[in-house]
Amino acid sequence: MLAPPTLVIGTAEAVWPDLSTSASRLVDQAGPADGLRAATARAVFCDPARRTASGRTWRVEDLTPPWPFVEGLLDGRRVACVKLGPGVPHRIIPAGVWAEWVSDRGQVVECALWAGPGVQKGVRSAVVDGAELVAALSPEPAEAAPIGAYLYEPDGAVVRAGLVDELARLIRATRVASGIAYLSASWHMPTPFADVFAVREVLPYDEKVLRAWVRDRGVGTLEIKKRGIDVDPAQLRRRLKPRGSAQATLVLTPTASGAVAVVCGRVD
């Protein structure tokens, strides 16, 4: 059985479309914004259902209540919060809301849209295990530069919120390449918003070179991360044939000088 979506108006909880207040009838007659205004709601929380008979869906067209209704709740006339999946497309997010992506122990779990009196418009934020990174829309783009002594992998909430450039400003880092969500710097600056790796070597992204490197160093436990390179890490790991007692992490990424494999180790 599919769980119904939750809609809370003021202090009365209801289930769409059978609302327990007069808003149900008024929404049908006048549209969501007029209906809720007539019901004198001061605050609204909406958690649209994201499941269909086929299972969980991330298509906005499949939300229940439908997206036009949900969007109407965010018109700014009342305090409103809409809980959505983390993959919500930026293009449909109204300009007048505060959009917040939440990450819990490395997993991006939701996006919350806030609107209404007292809510700053056009803000994007990432909440990572309780720490918050906030910026207005379109932060200054970070420069791309050669890879330094440390590599930073931003948390998924930072990436989904479009705050990689803001994080780069905060930790005084640069991108490894334009549009790639890896940052680098010559210093280690601890941050809750990214995993940090100490760079040991930078190798060309060439499977023969990497296979020889893995063999010569007796690497048996091999972690492979990648952005911007069309390769399946699990399949590449099998082709590199790791064998031995050593451990290593390879980060595959484009750079201005071509694709590379960064040999690195995690920094606590």
- Do residue 113 and residue 12 come from a single domain? yes
At residue 8, does pLDDT exceed 70? no
Residue 143 lies in a domain: no
- Do residue 125 and residue 167 come from a single domain? no
231 — pLDDT class (breaks 50, 70, 90): very high
Which of 136, 169, 190 is the last residue before a domain boundary? 136
Decide: 152 and 185 in contact? Cβ < 8 Å: yes
Q: Strand order of the sheet with strand 107-115?
A: 12-15, 6-9, 43-47, 79-84, 107-115, 98-104, 123-128, 131-136
- Do residue 168 and residue 228 come from a single domain? yes
Residue 142 lies in a domain: no
Residue 31 lies in a domain: yes
- Do residue 82 and residue 129 come from a single domain? yes
Residue 160 lies in a domain: yes
* CA–CA separation, 86 and 17 (whole Å): 25
pTM over 0.75: yes
129-180: pLDDT as tens digits = 999 999 976 678 999 999 999 999 999 999 999 999 999 999 999 999 999 9
- Do residue 74 and residue 179 come from a single domain? no
In order, the DSSP letters of 250-265 are EEEE--TT--EEEEEE
Residue 13 lies in a domain: yes
- Do residue 113 and residue 158 come from a single domain? no
- Do residue 208 and residue 233 come from a single domain? yes
Range of the structural domain that residue 21 is part of: 6-136
Residue 144 lies in a domain: no
- Do residue 19 and residue 129 come from a single domain? yes
Which of 136, 162, 196 is the last residue before a domain boundary? 136
Decide: 50 and 62 in contact? Cβ < 8 Å: yes
* CA–CA separation, 201 and 211 (whole Å): 15
Percent pLDDT > 70 in the chain is: 82
- Do residue 95 and residue 181 come from a single domain? no
User: Number of folded domains in the chain?
Assistant: 2
- Do residue 76 and residue 163 come from a single domain? no
Which segment of 58-72, 114-128, 221-235, 249-263 scores lowest on mean pLDDT?
58-72
Which of 85, 110, 136 is the last residue before a domain boundary? 136
9 — pLDDT class (breaks 50, 70, 90): low
- Do residue 79 and residue 201 come from a single domain? no
247-267: pLDDT as tens digits = 999 999 999 999 999 999 999
- Do residue 78 and residue 176 come from a single domain? no
* CA–CA separation, 257 and 177 (whole Å): 9
